């Protein structure tokens, strides 16, 4: 796992921020500005409007920055963000791809930190960093802050990419989509995001990227993650049985695909490895790590 080597080349744009949006005109403008404020890297922002009406066009084009490009999906994805992200990747010009959800915000210096980490590690194809939640709901915020503090501890102490894949498969994901970055040259060889997975298509994509190309963990805040507001997962959650069915179906697809592509032996070995991971990460609660609050 992770033995491929990337040969960097000259490119005017360092990072293409690919941002699908659906009826979040206010939030998407905030997300765009968080990308445009990034310093130390050349950035382009590709906004892909997934509504039939093109509801975000006026708000996005009103920003008036040449680094922002607006596209309306010819055929709306009907709740399959994998299709929109894959389209955005074909339009990108940057050395690296960052897929930012339209209700999240990049932390200050996030893109420069991830680019520097990947530039320093030509053997790695994916960068992953901290998530700092923010919310107007104190209960949501407290719950999610505790969760992401644990995830940051685990991510920072995971020995290598193989162990990370084992944790993702059997103990839970260690990242969210908007806190990751991938080399653009590796996106197509990975096959992009799988539109056949109802939810967790981002978990599947980055797990495949980490297994094939390796990863680097950026031990600092990357994403300010909005919680307590409507999103695909939250909307599904209100429908009870539907979210449970979608999650179960997605997990089954991801696990069956891994077995098919990499064999039952590797799958079982990773499953066995989780026993050691559980013991190892019981100690992470004692690490002196406290995530900052989103500003």
The answer on pLDDT for 288 being more than 50 is no
Closest to 35 (Cα-Cα) out of 67, 71, 1: 67
213: tokens are 């190309």
Model confidence band, residue 9 (pLDDT cutoffs 50, 70, 90): very low
Q: Are 165 and 210 in contact (CB under 8 A)?
A: yes
In this prediction, residue 285 carries a pLDDT of: 53
What would the mean pLDDT of 9-13 be, rounded to a whole number? 65
Q: Are 195 and 83 in contact (CB under 8 A)?
A: yes
**Structurally, what CATH architecture does the domain formed by 15-285 represent?**
Alpha-Beta Complex (3.90)
46: tokens are 């590709």
Q: Where are the beta strands (DSSP E) in 7-123?
A: 15-21, 43-49, 68-72, 96-99, 105-106
pTM of the model: 0.87
The answer on pLDDT for 1 being more than 70 is no
Tell me: the pLDDT tens digits for 193-244? 999 999 999 999 999 999 999 999 999 999 999 987 445 555 544 555 777 8
Tell me: the pLDDT tens digits for 18-38? 999 999 999 999 999 999 999
Q: Where are the beta strands (DSSP E) in 2-145?
A: 15-21, 43-49, 68-72, 96-99, 105-106, 126-134
Of residues 277 and 221, more confidence is placed in 221
What would the mean pLDDT of 61-81 be, rounded to a whole number? 94
In this prediction, residue 237 carries a pLDDT of: 47
In this prediction, residue 34 carries a pLDDT of: 98
What would the mean pLDDT of 245-260 be, rounded to a whole number? 94
Tell me: the pLDDT tens digits for 141-158? 777 787 788 888 778 777
Closest to 181 (Cα-Cα) out of 202, 195, 154: 202
Q: Looking at beta carbons, which pairs linking 75-79 to residues 24 or more positions away fall under 8 Å? A: 76/50, 76/51, 76/52, 77/20, 77/50, 77/195, 79/232
**Domain range annotation of the chain:** 15-285
- Average pLDDT score over the chain: 87
Q: Provide the percentage of residues in the chain whose pLDDT is more than 90.
A: 65
In this prediction, residue 80 carries a pLDDT of: 92
Residue with tokens 């009870």: 240
Q: Are 105 and 223 in contact (CB under 8 A)?
A: yes
């Amino acid at each position: 796992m992770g033995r491929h080597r990337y040969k960097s080349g000259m490119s005017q744009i360092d990072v293409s921020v690919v941002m699908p949006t659906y009826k979040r005109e206010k939030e998407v403008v905030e997300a765009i500005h968080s990308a445009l404020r990034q310093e130390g890297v050349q950035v382009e922002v590709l906004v892909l409007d997934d509504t039939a009406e093109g509801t975000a066009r006026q708000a996005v084009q009103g920003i008036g920055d040449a680094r922002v490009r607006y596209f309306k999906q010819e055929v709306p994805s009907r709740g399959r963000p994998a299709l929109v992200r894959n389209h955005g990747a074909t339009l990108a010009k940057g050395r690296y791809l960052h897929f930012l959800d339209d209700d999240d915000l990049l932390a200050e210096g996030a893109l420069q930190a991830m680019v520097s980490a990947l530039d320093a590690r030509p053997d790695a194809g994916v960068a992953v960093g901290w998530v700092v939640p923010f919310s107007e709901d104190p209960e949501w915020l407290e719950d999610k802050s505790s969760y992401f503090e644990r995830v940051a501890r685990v991510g920072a102490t995971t020995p290598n990419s193989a162990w990370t894949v084992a944790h993702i498969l059997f103990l839970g994901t260690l990242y969210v989509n908007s806190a990751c970055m991938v080399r653009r040259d590796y996106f197509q060889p990975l096959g992009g995001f799988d539109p056949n997975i109802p939810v967790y298509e981002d978990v599947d994509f980055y797990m495949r990227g980490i297994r094939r190309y390796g990863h680097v963990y950026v031990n600092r805040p990357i994403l300010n993650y909005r919680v307590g507001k409507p999103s695909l997962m939250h909307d599904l959650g209100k429908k009870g049985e539907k979210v449970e069915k979608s999650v179960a179906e997605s997990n089954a697809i991801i696990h069956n695909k891994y077995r098919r592509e990499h064999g039952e032996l590797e799958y079982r070995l990773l499953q066995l490895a989780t026993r050691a991971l559980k013991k190892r990460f019981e100690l992470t609660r004692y690490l002196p790590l406290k995530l900052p609050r989103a500003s």
